[in-house]
Structure 1
Amino acid sequence: MSKLIESMKQEFSLFLHALQYYSRIPVGQIDFCEEKLTPALRYFPLVGIIVGGLAAVVFALFALALRLPQSVAAVAALAAMILATGALHEDGFADFFDGFGGGYTKERILEIMKDSRSGAYGVMALILAFLLKFSLFVSISSSQLPWVLVAAHSTSRFTPILMIRNSQYARVENSKAGHTRRKPDTATIVIAAVLAAVPLVFLNWKIMLAILPIFALIYIVLKRYIEKRIGGFTGDVLGAMQQFNEIAFYLAYAAIAVWV
């Protein structure tokens, strides 16, 4: 029994590390250890469930409880997501477009992505991404969107874990994402996959079967592209992959839901 309790404490500690590192949700004082960030990746999709859940609650409050226009509720849900994560993945998304849009060599791409200043490519990419999300939030049924938000945020966080497992870290020097040099083990991958898939049970299974291959395609194409350009991934690449997946989920759901 004592071993079971100790194991549960260890897993809860990993969850708190994931929640603190990948969101701005307060977790209180924890004994932070960078070595735990790699096994903590197993709870990255669970962080997504929480973030998506918060956005879903906000959307439901505005659209279903207060009966405000769905466009207003969509903006509120977007704001909730940004506040919950501190725009962590959106920042990587913008840096990705700045780096790969303005750089022609590996060194220059990495240099641009490390620059804290936002460039034209990144700004325009963010504007288009938010416009696309907003449009899709308005087009999806208000009764289904809360579940879609949770599922999109959980599943979109799985393939970045696969990227860490199957590719190489591109930078030589230390950075905020330096812990990703260590590969997650099989148990971490399996737990993350299960947690990512849990919200899918609340959605139409035909839609889910159509969406999952899209995630696989994004993973394969992006992995080949970044390995060709810079030899591997960075934290910004992982953030961009999460955003690509999330947007693809909304887009695919909105498109396929019309036919099933």
Structure 2
Amino acid sequence: MRQLELFFIALAYFTRLPVPGWVAFAPEKLGQAARFLPLVGWVVAAIGAAVYWLAAQALPVDIAVVLSMAATVRVTGAFHEDGWADTCDGLGGGWTKARVLEIMKDSRIGSFGAIGLVLLILGKYLALSHLGAEHDYPLVAALLVAHPLSRLAAVSLMAVLDYARADDSSKSAPVARRLSATELGLASLFGVLPLLLLNPREALGALIATAAVTLWSLRTYARRLGGYTGDCLGATQQLAEVAIYFGILAAWSFT
């Protein structure tokens, strides 16, 4: 029951979906609930895949893709997309750690954030449209893989890096704690299990893409910030998600 409660806490924190009333929220529980972020990805992916499949029965693939993307944004409240935009603004406009963190905390979006968000959404749309060009299954499978696996990339940062902000006023501060090996193992299980939906080449492409984004994120955040922030986690998730779609498409070139 404790693990189920932690899952519902993660679901409530990282999405806008309702959870049972008996779930008790506490700052220390939020930190422990991070292990279930990839499992939350299962839920988000299932909703996005269901919306796509239903829409594709009556509408063109590209329109069904847009509706699917809109559904996942609505379910998460654009939580991770906001992190991506803030990280683009911070890393693009700041030269010192203090300035980067200051920019990332600003609720307004700047040029780097706006351009980054447009390119991110365009990349998702084009990749998913190509994945669903001939059959529904490749796109649905890609969604079911990318959402959990990309969230594992974000969780991995929490097991290696420290929280970069000295204050605890950030909305992500309660989640900021080092994951234990057991917690990372559980998150890894939920993150990689959906790879069974892909063929070996596609799975390898998805893993390589995820590893590349994770390593890049680790190096960049460690060098620029000395750690991570909640925005950094969201940015890593979004970048990894798009990279996974690209990795699966690249794998098709070798079949």
The residue number in structure 1 matching 2:53 is 60
Q: 1:24-61: CA deviations, max 9, x gaps?
A: 11114221111112221221111001101100000000
Structure-2 residue corresponding to 1:6? none
Equivalent pair of 1:45/1:154 in contact (CA under 8 Å):
yes
Moved over 4 A (4+): none
Find the counterpart in structure 2 of residue 168 from structure 1: 162
Q: Which residue of structure 2 lines up, in the alignment, with residue 126 of structure 1?
A: 117
Matched-pair contact (CA < 8 Å) for 1:95–1:236: yes
Gap runs ≥5 in structure 2: none
Aligned to 2:24: 31
Identity rate, percent: 38
User: Contact 1:158–1:196 at 8 Å: present in 2 too?
Assistant: yes
Match of 1:217 in 2: 212
CA contact (8 A) 1:39 1:185 kept: no
Matched, 1:20 2:20: no
Confirm whether residue 234 of structure 1 aligns to residue 229 of structure 2.
yes
What is the match of residue 43 of structure 1?
36
Distance, in Å, in 2 between the alignment partners of 1:149 and 1:106 is 35
Q: How many residue pairs get matched?
A: 250
Name the counterpart of 1:4.
none
Tell me which moved more, 108-117 or 36-45: 36-45
User: What does residue range 9-158 of structure 1 map to in structure 2 within 5 Å?
Assistant: 9-29=1-21, 30-63=23-56, 65-66=57-58, 68-141=59-132, 142-158=136-152
Q: Which amino acid aligns with 1:91?
A: D
SS at match of 1:130: helix
Matches within 5 A, 1:175-186: 175-186=170-181
> Whole-Å Cα distance in 1 between the matches of residues 231 and 221 of structure 2?
11
SS in structure 2 opposite 1:252?
helix
- How far is the alpha carbon of 1:160 from its aligned partner? 1.5
> In the TM superposition, what is the alpha-carbon distance from 1:252 to its structure 2 partner?
1.1
Q: Give, in angstroms, the shift of residue 132 of structure 1.
A: 1.0
**1:164–1:180 Cα contact (<8 Å) kept:** no
Quote how far apart the aligned CAs of 1:183 are. 1.3
